[in-house]
Every structure is written in C-alpha cells, then in structure tokens.
Amino acid sequence: MRVPTKTQKGTITIPERLKELNRTEYCAVLATLNKGHPYTSLVNFAFTPDYQTVLFATPKATSKYRNILNMHTVALLIDNRSKSSKNFMGIEAVTIIGTAHPVRRGKRWDSLVKIYITKHPLLEEFVRSPSTALITLKIERCIHVSQFQTITVWDTHT
C-alpha cells in the first residue's frame, strides 16, 4: 500500500457520504472551546432527513454543554477508522463545522427527539430526561477526507 504524500482535491458527493456515515456510525467527536482552549467529547449523533442538521444529546451539567452556551461554533468529527484500522486508504472522516444550540421542549423538540431515538433507541430515557439537552448543529461546512489525503469541501451556503 502506497500512502500519498500530497493532498489532492476530492470530488465526492458529501451528502451521500453523510447518509452512509449516519447509517454505519453512531459516535462522533465534538470539539468546543473552553476559555480559548479546545475541548473534545464523544457524542452519539443523528442527522435530520435533509442532512442540514446534526442532533446530539448531552447532560446539562457538562463542560461541553456550558461551552456550547458560551460559544455556539463547534466542530464534529465522524469517521470510520474502527472499520478500517489496518487499511489507511479505506478510512474516511468528515469534519462538520457549524453552530450548535439547545432545543427548547415543544413540538420541534418532539419531532427532533423522534429522529434521535430512531437511531439510538437505548438512549430514549437519557434524551427525555429533564437534565439532558437535545442539541442541533446547523451544518455550515463539511470537510471530507478519504484515501488518506483526498479532500472535498462542501459549504452549505453556496
């Protein structure tokens, strides 16, 4: 296996890859800022049907929740490295950059929590707890990396 030493521009259709990662992956790494310092956390995620928003839940008494309230810009890394640990060329990752906000309980929360629970039925009690916040991450940009250094960028505003 020859690992590339230079990056190249990719042409992958990112929404299609998001659909596949949503189907096969359950955890992602959330990056927030805490007083100017990066802070990462594992979260279980689900996409809305239009693939414009990512959902995740977190206890309100956590650093990641406080960080989101203080600065809404976050990044979320979804990858398939656990399925391709010996094949670097088969690993893909997408970094999603956007704004995160807690969802107030009500009709919108009800419809979004159904999406989340459909993917993560074992987390229903957790996400419905009054001490848990359901968070929406509105996608602004996705950076997809595959074949070690093939990079595709998708800006949702263009």
Per-residue pLDDT tens digits of the chain, which is 158 residues long? 555 455 556 556 778 889 989 999 999 999 999 988 999 999 999 999 999 999 999 999 999 999 999 999 999 999 887 765 566 556 788 999 999 999 999 999 999 999 999 999 999 999 999 999 999 999 999 887 765 566 777 688 65
Give the torsion through C-alpha atoms of 50, 53, 58, 64, to 10 deg: 160
- Residue 3 in any domain: the answer is no
Global confidence as pTM? 0.86
- Residue 127 in any domain: the answer is yes
- Residue 1 in any domain: the answer is no
Q: Whose CA is closest to 81, among 65, 68, 69, 92?
A: 92
Instruction: For residue 23, give its domain range.
Output: 8-155
Q: What is the CATH number of the domain that holds 150?
A: 2.30.110.10
CA distances from 111 to 95, 98, 104, 108 (A): 26, 21, 12, 5
Domain count, the chain: 1
Q: To 5 degrees, how large is the angle CA 12–CA 9–CA 22?
A: 30
